[in-house]
Amino acid sequence: MHFATRPLPLDCVTVTQHRNMASQKKVFRAEEVKSHKDSKSTWLIIHNQVYDVTKFLDEHPGGEEVLLEQAGGDSTEAFEDVGHSTDARDLMKDYLIGDLHPDDQSSKNYQANTGPLGREQKTR
Ligand code: HEM
């Protein structure tokens, strides 16, 4: 039939590609993360997940300095010590690039701290 041979509209192709990218979860070794430790390429490990924050350096409300100090390593403790909001945690997803390899994962269990006095966790 005539319509069956029509190419897909461009938008459809783009949407499919995005979906494929999102479903391909990568696994990184700590050794590899270590080499992304400056403003040219800034990776962080937070809760055993790997984030590429290179493009976020300029936008981070806490400044780029603190991110660069942690770059290439595990910044879970620093991240939780600050007490990041739930908004900040939502934003993180934009920079997630994969998981840390199981052999390199930290077994420390950090409690998510969403701010002073746990203001966003209070239910009553
Ligand atoms: C992908 C990772 C990160 C994201 C998306 C992120 C996002 C944010 C956001 C949105 C804020 C504003 C306050 C809030 O909403 O909680 C903030 C503040 C801040 N962040 Fe981050 N952050 C990240 C990683 C880190 C790390 C690893 C550190 C390490 C020390 C850090 C230190 C700070 C500091 C010091 C502030 C300022 C707090 C204040 O002035 O009250 N952040 N961050």
pLDDT (tens digit, 9 = 90+) per residue, 80-122? Answer: 999 999 999 999 999 999 999 999 999 888 888 998 754 455 4
Residue nearest to atom 26 of ligand 1 (CA): 79
Dihedral sign for Cα atoms in the order 120, 68, 41, 27: negative
Q: How far is the CA of 113 from the centre of ligand 1 (A)?
A: 12
Residue nearest to atom 3 of ligand 1 (CA): 92
Q: At 54, is the pLDDT very low, low, confident or very high (cuts 50, 70, 90)?
A: very high
CB proximity list for 100: less than 8 A, separation 6 or greater: 27, 28, 29, 30, 33, 45, 48, 49, 50
| CB distance 87 to ligand 1 below 6 Å | yes
Q: Please, what is the average pLDDT of the chain?
A: 84
User: pLDDT at position 123, please?
Assistant: 44
CB proximity list for 33: less than 8 A, separation 6 or greater: 43, 45, 50, 72, 73, 100
CB contact burial 30-43 (16+ within 10 A = b; e otherwise): beebeebbeeeebb
Q: How far is the CA of 28 from the centre of ligand 1 (A)?
A: 23
Say whether pTM exceeds 0.85: no
